[in-house]
């Protein structure tokens, strides 16, 4: 029988961190399984290549939501990474931890050990910040964190305009002042993307106690009674069982982890029965509490000097390509956004519930998968609803693991979310109408000045709003009846099984979710090592 101490399902942002940290112990054997392929490609390594990965056939699950009645029955596109590094290999590389209150709220919901002061050491341990270390930043960690190699003047003017409107200037959005405006840092090292795989696994791939396998499609978790003993996997068209002597860890992400649990018999009883799946444990919260940041995009015509659209289109894009190949700098070495402003939608909010992102360029996604830089000088700003009042679901389409789950995010179903995002549009307009950035703006393109009233803005949100691609919460951590895992990320009702990824978040964090997902895995690895269950001798074949 093929046996490892720990089997990690999913080589994404969390799984790669776990594989590195668990295999630090030379006395254990670790297996990291990934359904997708390797991701060592030029456009993965190149930060600007994210546009080419948005609809990639091999490196992206290319999911769609169910039709959304409140958004004109649109089926929203949800890209998710499929390959070594997961979504960290295709995302915008934005490094935002979240607000300290996010984590204190997790703790106060009955999850001791998850307050801000508890998780800060994990954040610091994972990163090497090029600014150097301080009370908030870490150095000598695997993940390189850097400032933009080009700080565009339009971005600096956007910050100055926001400050004039009373938004505090933050020199470090991951430091003491999160609610403010400032330049974003990214997980980019010397002009190249730092995916979780690149940072954590690639440097130790040769360890004799670490096995990494791609093209491994996990079908279900295998049990002996109420103990997880391994997984059933399909590789090269063949199915077989691989045994876990200590634990199985599911790190397939907020969209796929609940699917794997339900396919294995852990989930809402009615959902399992509907698909003829034998119930192992009744866990009504599996696939519930789906949270994401609803996002809406705006763009503005700008002076030529205020936008770098012309630098990355036409013949000049070839010059930028050569510059990047020779120096690792220039516009191809930038992450998705330059600036973030964390603001309140209304004064009575305890802390910022909106994130406004600014970039001195603009682009358009087309339905056929093509992403093109806009042909005229433009700048863009987006608003994210950070603490959604509404939530959605992940359910099964069938008992066939190859069938994508059904996703219903329920965006704009709660009036507080509608009110907040409308407020965010008005925040963007106020900032871009203020000097010094106002002199760079020639006119509003999207949604356009004709979209003025709350009802007109709402119609724009329904027609053009999107997901920020930050799903979380579908196997939430907690003490209540809907909690799927406990504060040590152990699946309730099952021995030797954990979920470690963004799905365990009780509430999605205030900002991009890649950094907190990696932190969860750092802390999860600590817990697994500390809890260190004794190795179990695999039973004979035939366990469920």
Q: Which of 331, 316, 292, 249 is nearest to 521 (CA)?
A: 249
Q: Which of 415, 416, 417, 395 is nearest to 406 (CA)?
A: 395
**Cβ distance 138 to 123 under 8 Å?**
yes
The total of other beta-carbon atoms located within 10 Å of residue 161's CB is: 24
> Please, which residues bridge with residue 145 across strands?
129
**Cβ distance 209 to 20 under 8 Å?**
no
Q: Is 468 exposed, middle or buried (0-12, 13-18, 19+ CB in 10 A)?
A: buried
Chain Cα centroid distance, residue 329: 25
What tokens does 416 get? 């507080």
Contacts of 206 (CB under 8 A, 6+ apart): none
Q: What is the dihedral of CA 118, 507, 399, 541, to 10 degrees?
A: 10
Q: If residue 103 lies in a helix (H) or strand (E), which one and from where to where?
A: helix 100-108
**Cβ distance 544 to 494 under 8 Å?**
no
Active-site entry in 293, 427, 470, 507: 470
Is there a catalytic annotation at residue 275? Answer: no
Total count of residues recorded for the chain = 544
How far is residue 301 from each of residues 101, 231, 355, 382, 526, measured CA to CA in Å? 37, 53, 22, 15, 50
How far is residue 256 from each of residues 50, 78, 229, 424, measured CA to CA in Å? 22, 12, 20, 31
- Residues with catalytic function: 470
């Amino acid at each position: 029988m093929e046996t490892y101490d720990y089997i990690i399902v999913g080589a994404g942002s969390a799984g790669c961190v776990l594989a590195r940290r668990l295999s630090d112990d030379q006395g254990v054997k670790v297996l990291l399984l990934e359904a997708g392929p390797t991701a060592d490609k030029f456009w993965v390594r190149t930060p600007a290549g994210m546009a080419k990965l948005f609809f990639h056939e091999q490196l992206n699950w290319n999911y769609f939501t169910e039709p959304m009645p409140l958004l004109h029955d649109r089926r929203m596109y949800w890209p998710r990474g499929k390959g070594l590094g997961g979504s960290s290999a295709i995302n915008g590389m934005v490094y935002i931890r979240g607000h300290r209150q996010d984590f204190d709220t997790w703790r106060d919901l009955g999850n001791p050990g998850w307050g801000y002061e508890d998780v800060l050491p994990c954040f610091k341990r994972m990163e090497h910040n090029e600014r150097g270390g301080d009370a908030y930043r870490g150095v000598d960690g695997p993940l390189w964190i850097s400032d933009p190699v080009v700080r565009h003047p339009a971005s600096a003017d956007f910050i100055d305009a926001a400050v004039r409107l009373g938004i505090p200037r933050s020199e470090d959005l991951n430091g003491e002042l999160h609610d403010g405006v400032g330049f974003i840092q990214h997980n980019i090292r010397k002009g190249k993307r730092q995916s979780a795989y690149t940072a954590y696994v690639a440097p130790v791939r040769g360890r004799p106690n670490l096995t990494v396998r791609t093209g491994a499609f996990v079908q279900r978790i295998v049990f002996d009674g109420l103990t997880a003993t391994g997984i059933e996997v399909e590789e090269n068209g063949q199915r077989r069982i691989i045994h876990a002597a200590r634990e199985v860890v599911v790190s397939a992400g907020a969209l796929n982890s609940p699917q794997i649990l339900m396919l294995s018999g852990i989930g809402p009883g009615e959902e399992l029965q509907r698909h003829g799946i034998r119930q192992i444990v009744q866990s009504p919260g599996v696939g519930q509490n789906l949270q994401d940041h609803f996002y809406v995009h705006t763009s503005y015509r700008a002076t030529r000097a205020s936008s770098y659209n012309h630098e990355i289109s036409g013949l000049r894009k070839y010059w930028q390509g050569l510059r990047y190949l020779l120096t690792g700098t220039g516009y191809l070495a930038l992450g998705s956004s330059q600036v973030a402003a964390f603001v309140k939608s209304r004064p009575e909010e305890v802390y910022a519930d909106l994130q406004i992102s600014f970039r001195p360029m603009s682009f358009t996604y087309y339905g056929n998968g093509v992403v093109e830089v806009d042909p005229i000088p433009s700048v863009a700003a987006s608003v994210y609803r950070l603490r959604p009042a509404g939530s959605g679901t992940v359910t099964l389409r069938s008992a066939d693991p190859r069938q994508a789950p059904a996703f219903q995010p329920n965006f704009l179903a709660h009036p507080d979310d509608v009110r907040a995002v409308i407020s965010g549009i008005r925040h963007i307009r106020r900032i871009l109408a203020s000097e010094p950035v106002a002199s760079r703006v020639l006119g509003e393109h999207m949604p356009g000045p004709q979209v003025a009233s709350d009802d007109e803005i709402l119609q724009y949100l329904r027609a053009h709003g999107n997901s920020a691609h930050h799903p979380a919460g579908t196997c939430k951590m907690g003490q209540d009846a809907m909690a799927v895992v406990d504060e040590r990320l152990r699946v309730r009702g099952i021995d030797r099984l954990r979920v470690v990824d963004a799905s365990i978040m009780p509430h999605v964090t205030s900002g991009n979710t890649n950094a907190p997902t990696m932190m969860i895995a750092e802390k999860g690895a600590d817990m697994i090592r500390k809890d260190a269950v004794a190795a179990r001798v695999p039973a004979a074949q035939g366990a469920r």
